[in-house]
Structure 1
């Protein structure tokens, strides 16, 4: 190995805020209106957000055990490679690069561009250039070490939590009589069903796995990583449930269902245009933080793949001073910028969301292999095993199938990307078998 390895510089606070930043992007500011359209009352809507949060907490517990077993860079790629073989690991990394992480980052960067143009009164034609500029900004920061990147990420996470706090306090303090109607049935019939309503909720909770990709840079990872996953997830659940209650208190269930931008509607109802601009700035900051952690986490996967001989050897190198995978980071960010320019927000979100949750299901399936084959007991084990992992798997598989049914073209594109990885893997192994381990 011609590099000194990653530096373990991330503290418990850093790690917990990475979890928060990896989950809270733009979904909580946009998706509640969609959920309201598909539910019959505020009580059902809040119940879905609580249920999805608890389900995702189960996923965090499973990832906590996986991270405690393999506290190294690479996350899901490492678990899949060990449990199901190098092909499975490669297909995850291949899809992550082309669709999942790149698509997620590109989609959320597009949200940044949309809100930035809105706040400053710029031309809508600048949405994509601003999105590309935002990605250049977060990429540049992380070229100079995980410590600097973590500090910036902490600022982003704290600011987005501050924006949510302002939104919640505003909603609850100024809702008045609306709070008594928050949980009342709607006057409009729901469209779709509970499965359709659960989809946008679960997608707002995705991103909890990013910390595992950075496990090689976490201090005392066997203890820190499980704690950070649980603490970060509990913070997100609390923030999401309170935010949705604030929406319902101010707008009511029917008003939330009719809203295209519930956060802006709440703030503008109380503070006028100034309030809408304040929350727009908060949303823009939130999206920057999400893009930051997505690119950083994905770069670690590519770096480990390169080290294994399953990707270009250049991406395996760490910067000699900053000990960061700069080539991998620039490559992932560059492809995400291409997606920003080539696709619209809806397409990017559909591709990334389907691939993301399918990857969660496959990754947590590796936990059963580790329990059967590894023979060791890590510092953290998933409680109520195998019941909780099985509940998570069954629910996520049902969600993925429902999503494929509702968005067949998007699901087909992701499946084709995965299948395209098979011949690429075969060619790669043939050409670079001498350098592969």
Structure 2
């Protein structure tokens, strides 16, 4: 549920339009490429999670398999990028619920969901079940209503001359961001029953559900709006229901978008705080964040720190305009995960060699084909992380 809530979140309402602008009628090809890369990443992450069932995800895998630097780089990119994503999701909630006071609503959302996570993963999973059920109902109503309307046929799912290799790859990179929710599952190794069995199964099931949902919604949008109409839309699902003559669905879709953003925010806070916990234990972040609540078993100080930082961003910065660097960071994060899985032996549960090879190559290709501004911003954030790691290493060697 946490994985599905992460993937079938606000991205389904906003990610398809920019992807269509890049790929045109090749949108579904871009979606398929993103899914293949995500499948490789999910398989590598699942095998590593079974081998290292502790909080931290790829931060731990990179550190254990490739060395301390690569683990730090993965953790840094994840924590910085996803904290900004927390703020973006909170602002999305505010924009749909009360546009004139989006920042206040967004800040309140962060506070409320941080409190839910504070009570433990069980409470978070229960809340996510409700959110996923509501979003699934909204998306099902959307697909059924639009595909059953007379508007179907004005668009097409066929690939035309507007689709280019570069555009399709860029769309895949943008859509891949929406599939990255299984990272949240892998960061929860210390808080689930039988992690060696549970985590790989949860990752596979969540990815399959998310792919089915995205494919169904993308097909409906292409058939109703067409590639050009989808590319030019700022709210494609709303435009599609209006085009289909089903205006009664407008408030339903608006509610679904807000609820989906809440689901993404809930799981983001969960994942970022667990990676922060692992890094704090290694003194790569302030060690005070490594404290685990004696009753609820959660890294409550890390959760509070993530929540406070997200609230500050919500109230001061419009991170929606610069969130592209998060996609770059996520792809680097999974490139390190695949490289880590590549080093596993058969006895350690290494997947077929083609899986980490395709996953690593796919992540690197999609990262460099992202919009230039996103790639440069992501590279800048990683460069800051490299500088921080270098300073920490030098201070350790000098004994300070």
TM-score (norm 2): 0.91
Partner Cα distance (1:422, 1:171) in 2: 51
The correspondence of residues 343-354 of structure 1 with structure 2, limited to 5 A, is 343-354=317-328
CA contact (8 A) 1:80 1:88 kept: yes
CA contact (8 A) 2:277 2:290 kept: yes
Q: Of the candidates 138, 142, 163, which is equivalent to residue 117 of structure 2?
A: 142
Does 1:294 find its partner at 2:259? no
Does 1:95 find its partner at 2:70? no
The correspondence of residues 25-64 of structure 1 with structure 2, limited to 5 A, is 25-41=9-25, 44-64=26-46
The correspondence of residues 324-339 of structure 1 with structure 2, limited to 5 A, is 324-339=298-313
Aligned-residue Cα RMSD (Å) equals 2.4
Q: Of the candidates 139, 142, 161, which is equivalent to residue 164 of structure 1?
A: 139
CA contact (8 A) 1:184 1:253 kept: no
Does 1:414 find its partner at 2:388? no
Does 1:193 find its partner at 2:175? no
CA contact (8 A) 2:3 2:181 kept: yes
Distance change (3 Å), C-alpha of 1:95 and 1:258: closer
Q: What is the DSSP-based 3-state SS (H/G/I as helix, E as strand, rest coil) of the residue aligned with 2:348?
A: coil
Distance change (3 Å), C-alpha of 1:296 and 1:20: same
Task: Give the match for residue 362 of structure 2.
Answer: 395
CA contact (8 A) 1:22 1:290 kept: yes
Residue 274 of structure 1 and its aligned partner are, at CA, apart by 4.1
CA contact (8 A) 1:178 1:252 kept: no
Does 1:73 find its partner at 2:55? yes
Distance change (3 Å), C-alpha of 1:190 and 1:268: same
Partner Cα distance (2:297, 2:399) in 1: 25
Residue 406 of structure 1 and its aligned partner are, at CA, apart by 5.2
Q: What is the DSSP-based 3-state SS (H/G/I as helix, E as strand, rest coil) of the residue aligned with 2:148?
A: helix
Residue 177 of structure 1 and its aligned partner are, at CA, apart by 5.7
Q: What is the DSSP-based 3-state SS (H/G/I as helix, E as strand, rest coil) of the residue aligned with 2:157?
A: coil
Residue 185 of structure 1 and its aligned partner are, at CA, apart by 5.7
CA contact (8 A) 2:76 2:382 kept: no
Does 1:235 find its partner at 2:206? no
Task: Give the match for residue 183 of structure 2.
Answer: 209
Q: What is the DSSP-based 3-state SS (H/G/I as helix, E as strand, rest coil) of the residue aligned with 1:74?
A: coil
Partner Cα distance (2:319, 2:337) in 1: 26
Gaps of 5+ in 2: none
Residue 269 of structure 1 and its aligned partner are, at CA, apart by 3.3
Q: Of the candidates 277, 290, 293, which is equivalent to residue 316 of structure 1?
A: 290
Task: Give the match for residue 6 of structure 1.
Answer: none
CA contact (8 A) 1:309 1:432 kept: no
Partner Cα distance (1:59, 1:33) in 2: 24
Task: Give the match for residue 335 of structure 2.
Answer: 361
Task: Give the match for residue 281 of structure 2.
Answer: 307
Q: What is the DSSP-based 3-state SS (H/G/I as helix, E as strand, rest coil) of the residue aligned with 1:238?
A: helix
Gaps of 5+ in 1: 1-16
CA contact (8 A) 2:14 2:235 kept: yes
Partner Cα distance (1:173, 1:272) in 2: 10
Partner Cα distance (1:224, 1:412) in 2: 34
CA contact (8 A) 1:103 1:336 kept: yes
Task: Give the match for residue 11 of structure 1.
Answer: none
Q: 1:136-160, CA deviations, whole angstroms, 9 ceiling, x for partnerless residues?
A: 1110111112211211122112222
Does 1:114 find its partner at 2:98? no
Does 1:225 find its partner at 2:207? no
Q: What is the DSSP-based 3-state SS (H/G/I as helix, E as strand, rest coil) of the residue aligned with 1:370?
A: coil
Partner Cα distance (1:164, 1:348) in 2: 27
Does 1:285 find its partner at 2:250? no
Q: Of the candidates 64, 69, 91, which is equivalent to residue 82 of structure 1?
A: 64
CA contact (8 A) 1:179 1:248 kept: no
Distance change (3 Å), C-alpha of 1:39 and 1:222: same
Partner Cα distance (1:231, 1:305) in 2: 28
CA contact (8 A) 2:19 2:172 kept: yes
Q: What is the DSSP-based 3-state SS (H/G/I as helix, E as strand, rest coil) of the residue aligned with 2:295?
A: coil
TM-score (norm 1): 0.84
